[in-house]
Structure 1
């Protein structure tokens, strides 16, 4: 039976990426696309690269329109998803690509967001290894509500969780510096994202512990260790449309060496299709994962400072958003996990 899909926020970067990946999914059919300002327009006018939905007309984002679908993807700004999701049928699989249902503690939400806390849904990062040694995918089976991780947390948590779960890394002093392509800031017109401003230049933002992904990264580490984490996270804007390169460091436990670290990561990800530890000496690049649901990792040990350095590369729109959402949808529906996610990286 073919499943009916609705995508809300379909004209944004995240919604458009969901539609791009779903185009080759053999078990689904996109029937409904919704947005706000572009309602009434044809998708082919707004996203000509999406030939599979070119003839669909964008509808208003209403509960009535979305309720027609078996699966609803919400690619909306924070604070907008919760109100819509609360009115959708319990039988509908709702996948929230926004922030509204990611955090499991209301105090974290209140410190970083300006809307009411909406509660916590199962977290859509299947490969996350938890403190008890199980993977997060077990918590996604048969659920009807999924919170898609943020793009920076996807890269950072995948980079840190195996070492944390194995007790090899100290969660109390984690430093992350990550670069993201400009699509991570969304499609709305902003002066600092104009080509003449962003291309050929890098700049930091959200400096000083204020970026909203900080508590989500700390939460992922806590799930992996059952210990509280302290993360210093600095995002930067890179002159490229897509991609995230996250460099994550943490002190290693006394006596821990590089072989122990590598063994922990190989153990966590050796059987995973979409998270790959690269051969020793080969470092991740954003180009190698462009357009794909893959994450590439590498690690080193700074003997002088006794800090492990783990670098992760993902496509912020694919593995960091839409790819993770579709992978989680497949798990929840009992479908093969890789359906619709066969794309390899693009090069050049």
Structure 2
């Protein structure tokens, strides 16, 4: 019998993407789908594209509904996952797409969030290159509690971690400017996300080191470098529904050159099914990863200023959230890591 997977918060964008991937997965069975205010409605009313499960009715989110599933995907707003996860059996694989369990430093959590720190779970970025030569996936096989990374941290970490782990970039002066589609802000109605406000415009937000993903990015890059890393992170809103393009720069380490930089990224991702280092001269585009559990990466050295430039593109709802959740479930349940996860995008 295939493992049964429940999706909590299935009426949102991330939850809907999780339902899409689980429904198409050859080794998983979709179980309960739950919501808050949308409980009682048909899934097809909210996500018309999910034709195969359009008549499934969203249930109330309660532990009683979720008990008995092999895995539960929590696609909830920040601060809402911890209490629900605590009410589920220890043997149930719980994968949290929110931020509640990502940060190891309670002080960092308190500085950026307004709820109590809920503790730290194994971090669900399998491809994360660590300073000791290990990978993030080493902590995920058999895990029953997993924190899915944020979408921006996924793109930025995959862009920069190989260079920090290999020691070819310096940790002291890392600058990131990243553009995201509007779905990253969730499905709630917000005036600044109306089509009339977004179309034809790009705008920065969370400027000045205040975006909540900043400590998570620094945590990941510190683990890669084996030394503290500080990041200047500026997110921007782009007139597209899905996708993240992260442009990241850092000083090249003394003694490193363009060949060493290229070698570090090539070695890090040579055997990774969901991260691709593009051929020299080709650049990542968000349109090429639409709907795919894939990160496209490119890296070059700007010799004139002595900086490495690394660029990554992901779909924030797939590799950035729901695809990562399914990838982690595959690892936790002992399924093939690639199962049910597309790497081919949709164009145009």
TM category (shorter chain) comes to over 0.9
CA distance, structure 2, for counterparts of residue 186 and residue 91 of structure 1: 30
Query: What is residue 311 of structure 2 aligned with on the other side?
Result: 311
Structure 1 gaps of 5+ residues are none
Distance, in Å, in 2 between the alignment partners of 1:26 and 1:337 is 12
Q: Secondary structure at the match of 1:288?
A: helix
What secondary structure sits across from 1:308 in the alignment? strand
Which 4+ stretches in 1 moved above 2 angstroms? none
1:269 counterpart = 2:245: no
TM-score (norm 1): 0.99
Paired residue total: 348
Contact map agreement 1:9 1:75 (CA 8 A) in 2: yes
1:58-69, aligned counterparts within 5 Å?
58-69=58-69
Residue of structure 1 in register with 2:213 after alignment: 213
Q: What is the rounded CA distance, in whole Å, between the counterparts of 1:261 and 1:229 in structure 2?
A: 18
Shift of 1:166: 0.6
Q: Secondary structure at the match of 2:152?
A: helix
The equivalences for 1:148-163 within 5 A come to 148-163=148-163
Aligned to 2:202: 202
CA distance in 1, matches of 2:193, 2:318: 20
Q: Which residue of 2 aligns with 1:111?
A: 111
Indicate the RMSD between aligned Cα atoms, in angstroms.
0.8
Distance 2:199 2:67 in 1: 41
Q: Report the counterpart of residue 170 of structure 2 in structure 1.
A: 170
CA positional deviation for 1:273:
1.0
Q: Report the secondary structure of 1:68's partner residue.
A: coil
- Tell me the TM-score normalised to structure 2 length: 0.99
* CA distance in structure 1 between the aligned counterparts of 2:4 and 2:52, rounded to whole angstroms: 14
1:187-336 map, 5 Å: 187-336=187-336
Q: Is the 8 A contact 1:30 1:53 kept in 2?
A: no
Find the aligned partners of 1:31 and 1:76 in 2 and give their Cα distance: 17
SS in 2 for 1:172: coil
Asked if the contact 2:291/2:342 (under 8 Å) is kept, the reply is no
The 8 Å contact of residues 244 and 315 in structure 2, kept in 1 or not, is answered as yes
Q: CA deviation at 1:258?
A: 0.9
Q: 1:133-144 to 2 correspondence within 5 Å?
A: 133-144=133-144
Q: CA deviation at 1:255?
A: 2.4
Structure 2: gaps of 5 or more residues: none
Give secondary structure in 2 for the equivalent of 1:23.
helix
Q: SS of the residue aligned with 1:84?
A: helix
Once the two structures are TM-superposed, the CA of residue 34 in structure 1 deviates from its matched residue by 0.6
Q: Which residue of 1 aligns with 2:181?
A: 181
Q: Distance in 2 between matches of 1:106 and 1:205?
A: 25
Shift of 1:157: 0.3
Distance 1:140 1:17 in 2: 22
Question: Could you tell me how far apart the structure 2 residues matched to 1:134 and 1:64 are?
Answer: 38
Are 1:222 and 1:228, in contact at CA under 8 Å, matched by a contact in 2?
yes
Cα distance, 1:67 vs structure 2: 1.4
Deviations along 1:297-320, one digit per CA (max 9) or x if unpaired, are 111111121110000000000000
Counterpart CA distance in 1 for 2:303 and 2:31 is 55
C-alpha separation between the residues in 2 aligned to 1:44 and 1:17?
Answer: 13
Question: Which residue number in structure 2 is paired with residue 97 of structure 1?
Answer: 97
